[in-house]
């Protein structure tokens, strides 16, 4: 893009008497007008994902275009504060880490010059907007398009028809240019044609507890897959003609199992165009790669074959055929019968299609998202495939886009880094490590402490506005912000908070540094326990808030509507990043990386990317506690008795009792009793304390106190924080995307 043309347009823009929304649309349009997608040369990668959690695009796009600062200046001259656009809400076409990762990868692909194209769904309603009423989560529809959608262009002529047995659906693309060294495109499809067609791009993750709900999910996944495959094939034919060379020019990354229908769809399309079935399977095997994001069984999709057959008979047929091909091949390769059963695409026992098995069978490469996770995949989840085809498996540790998560979120810290090592690191993030030479300097330490203070003040004033909670003074900030899920163990933090509150009240912690515990999380609407945990935390916070005995020493805030923009403010302000999942269950995490870059120490378990964070920044600059994955596996195999732990630790038993002894009220819903039972009695298909809270809680509490005591020596603590900043370069998604390009897609970045 020619920056000067844009800036000239901007100077001419009339701003008087225009609303923020109006200006937002007009300025965005000026930038869009000057943006043109880069030409496709050579091999391209396509990233298929059911979620793209892009967040607010305005500032990020101007930053990527290199015009953010000047835009702010020009607007200021016209009397417009650029921060007015903060009232434009995020487009939340995703739910959490998986969707945010997809967004960071597109950002990085463009920034480093890898031709990487995103394919997703343009949901009419994003993830619900959250409110609390009496401490309970209330969900409201997220009508994000009411602000307009100036960063997308509807491509009327590129529409396609997606066929289901009972209806045809129009897939209309909306293109969002992703600017950097290259301009790539995120193509989001909207479903049109009839009322039932429109439902397909209605909402993210519709409830799937009924047959109708399941059918809708299958339709969504197929809709995305078919539209993307149709588009990639058409583009290939336009540029290269011959389908035999398809895999030479296209890599397709399946972000988790949701887009796995793209596999049978590509085979279907190729066969229809005259390629033999065997030839089509071969092309598919060279084209697809699969990223696994979780080992939680409830997230590994298995679709009822009857339902797939009902609306997609051809696709069901191809999946069956593929399963037969697979069985023959595996037999020939010497898989045992048990191995053949485990890895089978079609599972005859329950008559389902295992989407993960289909992905692993066809994918050229299968990767996990952090070292430990990739090892677990090889050892447990896909052990049979790994035994026979070890070369299929690899790791790419997740990363986050430093442009959003550091440069946009924390210009103050960036300016400090600039003052020490110049600005080159902004283009070449590896160079950030040079900052390591300066972090023991008194000057750097005091400047860093001032930056943290400033970021806290900014966060607190935002919280005052959003949550109507005043927060002032010097405080140590512990933050746990992420989706609400039992395995992430927000409930364990809640117990620790109750303990802190009690110990402070009884004057057992005379030297405690005043602290704030910050929570942010949305719970899936149908996930009763997660919603119960939100209510429980809100109850605890209310009690602490109302108690003069701890005022000024302990506070809690549960922010509403946690999203990308909120996250930008929180990661910059926090001192301690709470990453406390049960070891083995958080595949990677990316929140942990955002905090690290901004100089929060990690207080967490040896799980996901926490392990690599600690490896880079040093264990003594972070706070590690709790059972390691081996111990968890042993405990899970037999002999874990939470009641026994509680017997040894009566203080924790008492705290667990607060779920049922009337200390906190669940408003008569019975949900606290249900939580209590899940920990001590076991409930539905889970053993008691399925996520090993009581195994880890005492160690967790001690780690919280240790960090708190260390913080009293503010400058020593700041050194630990700075060590984290200086060693965070590895966690840039630029590095991740280049690894994908190199080891998985085998594509070149643009030469400059
Ligand atoms: C980064 C991010 C996540 C992922 O956080 P984890 O701690 O890795 O689970 C979720 N939601 C939002 C809004 C994010 O920005």
Is 309 in the active site?
no
User: Average pLDDT in the 140-146 region?
Assistant: 93
User: Average pLDDT in the 464-485 region?
Assistant: 92
Who wins on pLDDT, 638 or 175?
175
Q: What is the residue range of 230's domain?
A: 35-55+90-297
The answer to whether residues 736 and 253 touch, using CB atoms and an 8 Å cutoff, is: no
Q: Is the residue at 565 inside a domain?
A: yes
Which of 365, 404, 488, 499 is an active site residue? 488
- pLDDT at residue 92 is higher than 90: no
- pLDDT at residue 751 is higher than 80: no
Is 522 in the active site?
no
Who wins on pLDDT, 611 or 55?
611
- pLDDT at residue 597 is higher than 50: yes
Answer yes or no: do 578 and 717 share one domain.
yes
Is 482 in the active site?
yes
Query: Which atom from ligand 1 is nearest to the alpha carbon of 55?
Result: 13
pLDDT tens per residue across span 112-135: 999 999 999 999 999 999 999 999
Answer yes or no: do 576 and 709 share one domain.
yes
598 membership: H or E segment, kind and range: none
User: Average pLDDT in the 531-544 region?
Assistant: 98
556 membership: H or E segment, kind and range: strand 554-559
pLDDT tens per residue across span 696-722: 999 999 999 999 999 999 999 999 999
**Residue 593 Cα, ligand 1 centroid: separation in angstroms?**
10
Quote the CA–CA distance of 675 and 659 in Å, as a whole number: 8
User: Average pLDDT in the 437-462 region?
Assistant: 97
Is 714 in the active site?
no
CA 596 to each of CA 53, 200, 245, 543, 610: distance values in angstroms, whole numbers, following the listed order: 21, 38, 43, 31, 10
Q: Is the residue at 371 inside a domain?
A: no
Answer yes or no: do 291 and 410 share one domain.
no
Answer yes or no: do 534 and 650 share one domain.
yes
H helices of 34-96, in order, are 58-64, 68-77
Nearest to 184 by CA among 244, 282, 102: 102
If you search the block for the tokens 């015009």, which residue do you land on?
Answer: 67
| 3-state DSSP assignment of residue 81 | coil
Q: Is the residue at 487 inside a domain?
A: yes
User: Average pLDDT in the 373-388 region?
Assistant: 97
**Exposure string over 658-692, b if 16+ CB within 10 A, otherwise e:** bbeeeebebeeeebbebbbbbbbeebeeeebbbbb
pLDDT tens per residue across span 69-85: 999 999 999 999 999 99
Nearest to 288 by CA among 274, 313, 267, 305: 267
Q: Is the residue at 217 inside a domain?
A: yes
Q: Is the residue at 72 inside a domain?
A: no
- pLDDT at residue 752 is higher than 60: no
User: Average pLDDT in the 514-519 region?
Assistant: 98
CATH number of the domain where residue 200 is located: 3.40.50.2000
Spatial CB neighbours of 388, under 8 Å, sequence gap ≥ 6: 330, 333, 334, 335, 339
The pLDDT, as a whole number, for residue 750 is 74
- pLDDT at residue 419 is higher than 50: yes
The pLDDT, as a whole number, for residue 630 is 97
pLDDT tens per residue across span 228-286: 999 999 999 999 999 999 999 999 999 999 999 999 999 999 999 999 999 999 999 99
Pocket test of ligand 1: the residue of 60, 94, 100, 401 to mutate, having most ligand atoms within 8 Å of its CB, is 100
Q: Output the residue whose Cα is nearest ligand 1's atom 4.
A: 97
* Helix, strand, coil abundance in the chain, percent, nearest 5: 55, 15, 30
Answer yes or no: do 419 and 545 share one domain.
yes
User: Average pLDDT in the 569-593 region?
Assistant: 98
pLDDT tens per residue across span 383-393: 999 999 999 99
Q: Output the residue whose Cα is nearest ligand 1's atom 15.
A: 564
- pLDDT at residue 462 is higher than 90: yes
Radius of gyration of the chain (CA): 26
Quote the CA–CA distance of 87 and 462 in Å, as a whole number: 12
Q: Is the residue at 262 inside a domain?
A: yes
Query: Which atom from ligand 1 is nearest to the alpha carbon of 564?
Result: 13
Is 590 in the active site?
yes
The answer to whether residues 626 and 696 touch, using CB atoms and an 8 Å cutoff, is: yes
The pLDDT, as a whole number, for residue 685 is 66
**Exposure string over 326-335, b if 16+ CB within 10 A, otherwise e:** bbeebeeeeb
**Residue 52 Cα, ligand 1 centroid: separation in angstroms?**
12
The pLDDT, as a whole number, for residue 514 is 97
Which of 330, 483, 522, 695 is an active site residue? 483
* Domain total in the chain: 2
Is 687 in the active site?
no
Q: Output the residue whose Cα is nearest ligand 1's atom 7.
A: 591
Q: How high is the mean pLDDT of the chain?
A: 96
Q: Which residues line ligand 1 (CB under 6 A)?
A: 96-97, 100, 482-483, 563-564, 567, 589-591, 594
Residues in a beta bridge with 411: none
The pLDDT, as a whole number, for residue 683 is 67
The pLDDT, as a whole number, for residue 89 is 84
Which of 100, 258, 293, 695 is an active site residue? 293
Q: What percent of the chain has pLDDT over 90?
A: 93
Compute the Cα dihedral for 228, 234, 240, 246 and give only its sign. positive
Query: Which atom from ligand 1 is nearest to the alpha carbon of 589?
Result: 8
Last residue of a domain, one of 247, 271, 297: 297
* Number of other residues whose CB lies within 10 A of the CB of residue 555: 20
Q: Output the residue whose Cα is nearest ligand 1's atom 1.
A: 591
Q: Is 482 exposed, middle or buried (0-12, 13-18, 19+ CB in 10 A)?
A: buried
Nearest to 196 by CA among 164, 157, 173, 154: 164
Residue 203 DSSP one-character state: B
Pocket test of ligand 1: the residue of 566, 585, 590, 612 to mutate, having most ligand atoms within 8 Å of its CB, is 590
Structure confidence at residue 748 as a pLDDT band (50, 70, 90): confident
Pocket test of ligand 1: the residue of 591, 610, 612, 733 to mutate, having most ligand atoms within 8 Å of its CB, is 591
- pLDDT at residue 12 is higher than 90: yes
Q: Output the residue whose Cα is nearest ligand 1's atom 6.
A: 591
Last residue of a domain, one of 254, 278, 297: 297
Answer yes or no: do 131 and 250 share one domain.
yes
Q: Is the residue at 358 inside a domain?
A: no
Which of 219, 404, 594, 735 is an active site residue? 594
**Residue 567 Cα, ligand 1 centroid: separation in angstroms?**
8
The answer to whether residues 689 and 705 touch, using CB atoms and an 8 Å cutoff, is: no
**Residue 404 Cα, ligand 1 centroid: separation in angstroms?**
13
Query: Which atom from ligand 1 is nearest to the alpha carbon of 481?
Result: 7
Residues in a beta bridge with 576: 478, 601
Structure confidence at residue 618 as a pLDDT band (50, 70, 90): very high
Residues in a beta bridge with 179: 183
The pLDDT, as a whole number, for residue 663 is 97
**Residue 610 Cα, ligand 1 centroid: separation in angstroms?**
14
Pocket test of ligand 1: the residue of 103, 293, 397, 482 to mutate, having most ligand atoms within 8 Å of its CB, is 482
State the number of CA atoms in the 13 A half-sphere of 200 facing the CB. Answer: 30
Count how many residues are written for the chain: 752
The pLDDT, as a whole number, for residue 464 is 95
If you search the block for the tokens 């889970």, which residue do you land on?
Answer: 686
Q: Is the residue at 40 inside a domain?
A: yes
- pLDDT at residue 472 is higher than 80: no
Judged by average pLDDT, the poorest of 474-478, 625-629, 686-690 is 686-690
Last residue of a domain, one of 278, 297, 316: 297
């Amino acid at each position: 893009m020619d920056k000067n043309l844009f800036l000239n347009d901007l100077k001419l823009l009339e701003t008087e008497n225009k609303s923020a929304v109006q200006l937002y649309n007009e300025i965005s349009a000026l930038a869009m007008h000057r943006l043109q997608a880069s030409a496709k040369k050579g091999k391209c990668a396509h990233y298929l994902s059911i979620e793209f959690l892009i967040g607010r695009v305005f500032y990020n796009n101007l930053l990527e275009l290199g015009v953010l600062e000047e835009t702010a200046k020009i607007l200021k001259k016209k009397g417009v504060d650029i921060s007015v656009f903060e009232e434009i809400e995020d487009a939340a076409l995703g739910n959490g880490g998986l969707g945010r990762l997809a967004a960071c990868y597109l950002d990085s692909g463009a920034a480093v010059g890898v031709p990487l194209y995103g394919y997703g769904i343009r949901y009419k309603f994003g993830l619900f907007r959250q409110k609390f009423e009496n401490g309970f989560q209330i969900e409201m529809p997220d009508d994000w398009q009411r602000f307009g959608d100036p960063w997308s262009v509807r491509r009327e002529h590129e529409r396609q028809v997606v066929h289901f047995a009972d209806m045809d659906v129009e897939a209309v693309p909306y293109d969002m240019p992703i600017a950097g060294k290259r301009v790539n495109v995120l193509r989001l499809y909207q479903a049109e044609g009839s009322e039932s067609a429109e439902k397909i791009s209605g909402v993210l993750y519709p409830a799937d507890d009924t047959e109708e709900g399941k059918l809708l999910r299958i339709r969504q996944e197929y809709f995305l897959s078919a539209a993307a495959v149709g588009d990639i094939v058409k583009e290939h034919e336009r540029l290269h003609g011959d389908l035999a060379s398809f895999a030479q020019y296209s890599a397709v990354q399946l972000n988790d199992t949701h887009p796995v229908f793209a596999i049978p769809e590509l085979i279907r399309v190729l066969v229809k165009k005259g390629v033999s079935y065997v030839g089509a399977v071969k092309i598919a095997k060279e084209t697809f790669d699969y990223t696994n994001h979780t080992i939680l069984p409830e997230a590994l999709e298995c679709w009822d074959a009857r339902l797939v057959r009902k609306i997609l008979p051809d696709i069901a047929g191809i999946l069956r055929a593929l399963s037969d091909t697979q069985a023959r091949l595996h037999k020939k390769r010497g898989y045992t019968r048990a191995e053949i059963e485990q890895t089978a695409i079609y599972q005859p026992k329950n008559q389902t299609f295992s989407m993960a098995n289909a992905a692993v069978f066809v994918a050229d490469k299968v990767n996990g998202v952090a070292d430990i996770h990739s090892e677990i995949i090889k050892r447990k989840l896909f052990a049979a495939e790994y035994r026979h085809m070890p070369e299929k498996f690899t790791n790419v540790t997740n990363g986050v886009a430093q442009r959003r998560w550091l440069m946009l979120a924390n210009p103050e810290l960036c300016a400090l880094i600039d003052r020490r090592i110049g600005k080159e690191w902004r283009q070449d993030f590896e160079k950030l490590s040079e900052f390591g030479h300066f972090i023991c300097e008194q000057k750097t330490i005091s400047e860093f402490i001032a930056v943290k203070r400033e970021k806290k003040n900014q966060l607190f004033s935002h919280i005052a506005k959003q949550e109507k909670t005043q927060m002032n003074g010097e405080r140590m900030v512990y933050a746990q912000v992420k989706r609400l899920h039992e395995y992430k163990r927000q409930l364990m933090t809640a117990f620790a908070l109750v303990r802190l509150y009690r110990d402070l009240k009884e004057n057992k912690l005379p030297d405690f540094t005043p602290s704030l515990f910050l929570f942010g999380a949305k719970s899936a609407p149908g996930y009763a326990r997660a919603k119960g945990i939100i209510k429980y935390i809100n109850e605890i916070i209310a009690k602490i808030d109302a108690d003069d005995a701890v005022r000024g020493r302990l506070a809690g805030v549960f922010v509403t509507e946690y999203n990308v923009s909120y996250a930008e403010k929180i990661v910059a302000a926090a001192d301690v990043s709470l990453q406390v999942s049960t070891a083995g269950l958080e595949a990677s995490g990316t929140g942990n990386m955002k905090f690290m870059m901004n100089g929060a120490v990690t207080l967490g378990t040896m799980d996901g990317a926490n392990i690599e964070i600690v490896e880079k920044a040093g264990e003594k600059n972070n706070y590690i506690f709790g059972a390691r994955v081996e111990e968890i596996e042993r405990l899970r195999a037999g002999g874990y008795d939470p009641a026994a732990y509680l017997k040894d630790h009566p203080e924790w038993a008492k705290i667990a009792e607060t779920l049922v002894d009337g200390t906190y009220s669940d408003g008569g819903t019975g949900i606290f009793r249900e939580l209590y039972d899940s920990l001590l009695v076991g409930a539905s298909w889970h053993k008691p304390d399925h996520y090993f809270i009581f195994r880890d809680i005492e160690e967790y509490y001690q780690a919280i106190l240790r960090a708190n005591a260390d913080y009293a020596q503010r400058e020593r603590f700041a050194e630990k924080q700075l060590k984290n900043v200086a060693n965070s370069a590895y966690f840039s998604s630029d590095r991740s995307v280049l690894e994908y390009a190199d080891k998985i897609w085998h594509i070149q970045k643009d030469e400059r």
